[in-house]
């Protein structure tokens, strides 16, 4: 073994100076902590050598060379990733079930809808698809090219990798992966809700030679980032929060503006309350911070306005967000404000005066959800981010934060940021409650129930306006769909109840991509005080069911039945179904159903032969003239032959 050495080189411009080129001898002993080469087996014509890599080595694509006397030859190439199975790696995750879920699982679930009706959609992360790892490293190369302090040795640091990837997803102006669609129509690209997985997006980005793929929204950004980070070996999951205050510039106070009829206005183009928002969590040890900040880190690739720094956020320790440690680096203050903001409602009067409305406090950061480990059940992780609303620990955290945030100079105590100004609290003497079903199937009328309770000590004359408005998920209104006005005289200590139905014909044509509706009730009493209530509901797609046979066996032909129910009073026209499933169906298949008649069900039988055993998922995607992007999925256990 005398004179025999192994060397490696990483990156396009490797050198000994920046430690991306190292030389070490072949010996009979290996060193588990350092670069080393151990002779495992020696024959006259070949040697078996094992190479050990240190846990803190930079990830990347390496060339491996052999030096023997005057011979210098390339042995081969290999790719080094983060290793969550290695105790010395910064991304070490001790739980095997979590490693299986947050590294190896390619079948994801992304949550959306409203806080009262959480809906699920499938996503194929595809982190192990052919060519994806090469795309991920190309993404890093380009991302590093735009950093002033480019240093490939930083690739050993998961914080550096996460921030580089987050910048490339949506926030790098020139070479980002995806273009945000905003509220525009997507005629020149793919609407965000039509994507089914990450691979096609990443591959299209390569085909476009680094030009952004059109289009994405927060859930697409988070899904693609999850794919890239899992591919690189960093445990990652997709997280959804409901009622999210976006672009607040770390201010835990957000305003909403309505006209006198309860129509949502948008005078502020940046700060608003989103119905839901999707971001990532990645697992790592934080050697740069206190030990208690290790674990899950919040990472958000969706751009937002900030006082300084890049427009993405994170990785911010989830524990720091919960404890209100807003001085901790990597945007803890922005996450905290988004999840703990209090919303104040203003009514824009006809004379251009803004009047505050009496409203029950609207909290943000509700029902924070992610896919459970080893199942497709939705797991609520709100307790990781915040203490229960109204609890003593929550009050202590909020009081601590309001003392720390220097930019909020007008706020000196918690009482000053609640929805109703202190000077108006004692005059609140009318209570209103608006209620509807949290979700409805497309085609159903909307039931509205409004209760008004007068405890002013005297009879009151009131003017009520009920409204229904379609909404983008990011709080931008689409259009007013329905409005009706009522006048009441409410006696003291009396409850008035009103029930109305909004016909499907009034709202069905202008629902928008996310099928969200905001219901509002605006009451003005004889003293010109304004009371306000709101509710958001989801309009759900009709049932698209998948039925597998009882037993599905590897390499044996089988048949799955897909059934579409049309609940409308009109035919569903030009129906197209796309079916896919890794290990079940080779590539995607497209089927044209034509028309599905009103109030009827149409079945589609598909033959398939599974090529992989274990749990496999089938995904079905339907589009037609009346419904865009109806998705369904079901998993089946494929038995070994």
pLDDT digits (tens, 9 = 90+) for 577-612: 999 999 999 889 999 999 999 999 999 999 999 999
**20 lies in a domain?**
yes
Shared domain check, 479 and 460: yes
Beta-bridge mates of residue 578: 590, 621
Q: What is the pLDDT of residues 292-344, one digit of tens each?
A: 999 999 999 999 877 777 889 999 999 999 999 999 999 999 999 999 998 98
Q: Among the three residues 51, 80, 109, which one is the final residue of a domain in this structure?
A: 80
- How many domains are contained in the chain? 4
> Does residue 416 sit in helix, strand or coil?
helix
| pLDDT average, residue stretch 572-576 | 95
Q: Give 443's pLDDT tier (boundaries 50, 70, 90).
A: very high
Residue 53 is part of which domain span? 6-80
603 belongs to the catalytic site: no
Shared domain check, 507 and 385: no
pLDDT at 240 over 90: yes
Question: What pLDDT is attached to residue 3?
Answer: 58
Q: What is the pTM assigned to this prediction?
A: 0.94
Q: Among the three residues 485, 505, 540, which one is the final residue of a domain in this structure?
A: 540
pLDDT at 268 over 70: no
Residues ≥6 apart with Cβ < 8 Å to 403:
none
**256 lies in a domain?**
no
Q: What is the pLDDT of residues 158-215, one digit of tens each?
A: 999 999 999 999 986 678 999 998 777 777 899 999 999 999 999 999 999 989 999 9
| pLDDT average, residue stretch 266-288 | 88
Higher pLDDT, 557 or 72: 557
Shared domain check, 191 and 63: no
pLDDT at 484 over 60: yes
Question: What pLDDT is attached to residue 11?
Answer: 55
Question: What pLDDT is attached to residue 421?
Answer: 35
**What whole-number distance in Å separates Cα of residue 117 and Cα of residue 135?**
37
**26 lies in a domain?**
yes
DSSP state of 248: -
Q: What is the pLDDT of residues 413-440, one digit of tens each?
A: 333 333 333 334 445 689 999 999 988 9
CB distance 222 to 229 below 8 Å? no
**What whole-number distance in Å separates Cα of residue 181 and Cα of residue 162?**
23
| pLDDT average, residue stretch 41-69 | 88
Shared domain check, 406 and 312: yes
300 belongs to the catalytic site: yes
**251 lies in a domain?**
no
Shared domain check, 327 and 217: yes
**425 lies in a domain?**
no
Higher pLDDT, 39 or 137: 137
| pLDDT average, residue stretch 397-425 | 55
Question: What pLDDT is attached to residue 18?
Answer: 59
CB distance 365 to 337 below 8 Å? no
pLDDT at 392 over 90: yes
CB distance 318 to 384 below 8 Å? yes
186 belongs to the catalytic site: no
**What whole-number distance in Å separates Cα of residue 250 and Cα of residue 34?**
43
pLDDT at 10 over 80: no
- Of the candidates 124, 226, 231, 277, the residue annotated as catalytic is 277
- Of the candidates 136, 162, 171, 218, the residue annotated as catalytic is 218
Question: What pLDDT is attached to residue 614?
Answer: 95
Shared domain check, 610 and 466: no
Question: What pLDDT is attached to residue 406?
Answer: 54
**73 lies in a domain?**
yes
Shared domain check, 498 and 477: yes
| pLDDT average, residue stretch 394-404 | 92
> Does residue 62 sit in helix, strand or coil?
strand
pLDDT at 351 over 60: yes
The overall average pLDDT reported for the chain is 90
pLDDT at 409 over 80: no
Shared domain check, 275 and 178: yes
Q: Give 157's pLDDT tier (boundaries 50, 70, 90).
A: very high
**424 lies in a domain?**
no
Question: What pLDDT is attached to residue 267?
Answer: 64
Question: What pLDDT is attached to residue 360?
Answer: 76
Q: Give 72's pLDDT tier (boundaries 50, 70, 90).
A: confident
Shared domain check, 276 and 141: yes
Q: Which CATH number fits the domain that encloses residue 231?
A: 3.90.260.10
**What whole-number distance in Å separates Cα of residue 108 and Cα of residue 634?**
12
Shared domain check, 212 and 109: yes
Question: What pLDDT is attached to residue 183?
Answer: 72
Report whether the peptide linkage leading into residue 155 is cis, meaning its omega lies within 30 degrees of zero: no
Shared domain check, 520 and 603: no
CB distance 354 to 333 below 8 Å? no
Question: What pLDDT is attached to residue 578?
Answer: 95
Beta-bridge mates of residue 511: none
Q: Give 381's pLDDT tier (boundaries 50, 70, 90).
A: very high
- Of the candidates 89, 107, 124, 300, the residue annotated as catalytic is 300
Question: What pLDDT is attached to residue 411?
Answer: 41
Q: Among the three residues 498, 524, 540, which one is the final residue of a domain in this structure?
A: 540
Q: Which CATH number fits the domain that encloses residue 605?
A: 2.60.40.10
Question: What pLDDT is attached to residue 417?
Answer: 34
pLDDT at 635 over 60: yes
| pLDDT average, residue stretch 510-523 | 93
Question: What pLDDT is attached to residue 14?
Answer: 62
Could you tell me whether strands 494-502 and 516-525 are parallel, antiparallel, or unpaired per DSSP bridges? unpaired
- How many helices (H) does the chain have, and how many strands (E)? 11, 37
Shared domain check, 334 and 205: yes
Q: Give 74's pLDDT tier (boundaries 50, 70, 90).
A: confident
Question: What pLDDT is attached to residue 251?
Answer: 83
**What whole-number distance in Å separates Cα of residue 147 and Cα of residue 167?**
10
Q: What is the pLDDT of residues 109-120, one digit of tens each?
A: 999 999 999 999
Beta-bridge mates of residue 72: 67
Share of the chain above pLDDT 70, in %: 92
**What whole-number distance in Å separates Cα of residue 136 and Cα of residue 141?**
9
Question: What pLDDT is attached to residue 269?
Answer: 60
Q: Picking from 8-12, 68-72, 117-121, 370-374, which range would have the lowest pLDDT averaged per residue?
A: 8-12
286 to 57, 201, 362: CA distances (angstroms)? 17, 31, 34
**258 lies in a domain?**
no
């Amino acid at each position: 073994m005398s004179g025999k050495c192994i060397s490696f080189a990483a990156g396009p411009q490797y050198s000994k100076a920046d430690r991306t080129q190292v030389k070490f001898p072949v010996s009979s002993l290996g060193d588990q902590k350092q670069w080393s080469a151990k002779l495992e087996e020696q024959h006259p014509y070949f040697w078996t050598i094992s190479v050990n890599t240190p846990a803190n080595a930079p990830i990347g694509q390496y060339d491996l060379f052999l030096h023997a006397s005057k011979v210098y030859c390339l042995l081969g190439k290999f790719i080094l990733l983060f290793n969550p199975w290695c105790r010395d790696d910064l991304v070490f995750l001790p739980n095997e079930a979590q490693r299986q879920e947050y590294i190896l699982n390619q079948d994801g679930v992304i949550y959306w809808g409203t806080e009262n009706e959480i809906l699920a959609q499938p996503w194929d992360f595809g982190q192990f698809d052919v060519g994806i790892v090469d795309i991920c490293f190309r993404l890093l190369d380009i991302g590093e090219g735009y950093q002033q302090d480019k240093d490939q040795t930083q690739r050993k640091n998961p914080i550096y990798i996460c921030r580089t990837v987050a910048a490339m997803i949506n926030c790098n102006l020139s070479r980002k992966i995806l273009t945000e669609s905003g509220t525009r129509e997507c005629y020149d690209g793919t609407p965000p809700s039509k994507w089914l997985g990450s691979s096609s997006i990443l591959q299209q980005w390569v085909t476009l030679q680094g030009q952004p793929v059109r289009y994405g929204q927060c859930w697409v950004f988070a899904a693609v980032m999850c794919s890239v980070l899992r591919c690189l070996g960093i445990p990652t999951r997709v997280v959804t929060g409901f009622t999210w205050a976006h672009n607040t510039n770390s201010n835990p106070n957000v305003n909403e503006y309505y006209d006198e009829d309860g129509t949502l206005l948008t005078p502020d183009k940046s700060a608003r309350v989103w119905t839901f928002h999707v971001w990532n969590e990645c697992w790592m040890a934080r050697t740069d911070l206190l030990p208690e900040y290790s674990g899950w880190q919040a990472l958000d690739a969706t751009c937002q306005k900030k006082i300084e720094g890049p427009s993405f956020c994170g990785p911010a320790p989830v524990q720091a967000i919960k404890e209100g440690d807003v001085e901790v680096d990597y945007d803890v203050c922005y996450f905290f404000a988004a999840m703990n903001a209090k919303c104040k409602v203003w009514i824009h009067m006809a004379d251009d005066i803004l009047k505050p409305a009496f409203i029950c406090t609207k909290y943000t950061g509700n029902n924070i959800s992610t896919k459970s480990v080893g199942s497709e059940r939705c797991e609520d992780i709100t307790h990781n981010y915040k203490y229960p609303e109204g609890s003593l620990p929550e009050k202590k955290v909020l009081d601590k934060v309001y003392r720390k945030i220097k930019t909020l100079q007008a706020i000196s105590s918690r009482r000053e940021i609640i929805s109703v100004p202190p000077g108006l609290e004692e005059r609140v003497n009318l209570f209103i409650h608006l209620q509807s079903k949290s979700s409805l199937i497309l085609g159903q009328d909307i039931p509205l129930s409004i209760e008004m309770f007068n405890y002013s000590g005297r009879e009151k004359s009131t003017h009520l306006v009920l409204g229904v408005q379609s909404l983008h998920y990011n709080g931008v209104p689409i259009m007013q769909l329905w409005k009706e006005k009522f006048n009441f005289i409410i006696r003291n200590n009396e409850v008035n109840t009103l029930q109305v139905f909004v016909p499907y014909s009034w709202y069905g044509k202008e629902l928008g991509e996310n099928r969200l509706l905001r219901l509002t009730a605006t009451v003005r009493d004889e003293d010109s005080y304004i009371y306000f209530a709101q509710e958001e509901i989801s309009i759900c797609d009709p049932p698209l069911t998948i039925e597998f046979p009882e037993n599905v066996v590897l390499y044996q032909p089988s048949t799955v039945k897909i059934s579409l129910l049309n609940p409308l009073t009109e035919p569903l026209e030009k129906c197209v179904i796309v079916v896919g499933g890794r290990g079940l169906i080779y590539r995607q298949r497209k089927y044209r159903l034509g028309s599905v008649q009103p109030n009827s069900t149409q079945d589609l039988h598909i033959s398939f032969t599974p090529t992989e055993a274990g749990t496999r998922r089938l995904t079905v995607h339907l589009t037609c003239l009346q419904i865009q992007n109806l998705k369904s999925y079901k998993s089946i256990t494929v038995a070994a032959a």
